[in-house]
Structure 1
Amino acid sequence: MQIIDRSNGALLASLNAGGGDQLEYDVSTNRYYNAASRWTSSGNASTNGACSAASPCTPVLTIVDAGSRSVVTRLNTGNNAHSVAIDPATGLIFVPYSSATSPAGCPSCAANGFVNGGVSVFAAR
């Protein structure tokens, strides 16, 4: 994940926080929320972006402080959890996910309690 100054294109930070399709910003917490369904702890992308036994994905919701440009925390999410939405009124964060086995390549999903598809709800504040 790279944070770039939109006024001049300068790279402000490069974080091991990629692997997501969607990034959301919450003004009240001044944080970015990255639905990183294809994140790997090594920071290396899996082959063709697919998870496998040889290159397992560890899906997380990565929370980044916009002021310090640093990772605050990573919260476990379910398989294929690549979207995120924040309700600015309640501070609730919604992350949908699929079953632990589809698509394949997420050995930690069932172990973390994300067996069947659903929606994870987190509180931003």
Structure 2
Amino acid sequence: MSLTEYFANSENREMIASLLDLGLTIETVVQGNSENNPLEGAIFLFTGSLSQMSRNEAKQLVKDLGGRVVSGLSKKVTHLVAGEKAGSKLKKAAELGVTVVDESAFLRIVGRT
């Protein structure tokens, strides 16, 4: 039975209405998938300044695509985005084996080029 068939049945709709009257709440949950969340599982850290967008915009873009943004460097970071005047995090990233990308590579990763 399809959802269309289920909700076409008046008995099913009446049962749902009764449950709602009794206090049932319905919550929409969106499950992540690689199509909607291509950065799921990725952890980004930004250092230095970006020229094509603000760091806050870049961070929000990562979050919108299912990734996480952190403020400190650790082995869990999957991508260090190094903008202009990147600091000491570059050296530490190399020591930890973290992938370092520049702004243009970041834009490719997030589909902005």
More helix by share: 2
TM-score if structure 2 supplies the norm length? 0.25
More strand by share: 1
TM-score if structure 1 supplies the norm length? 0.24
Q: Which of structures 1 and 2 has the bigger CA Rg?
A: 2
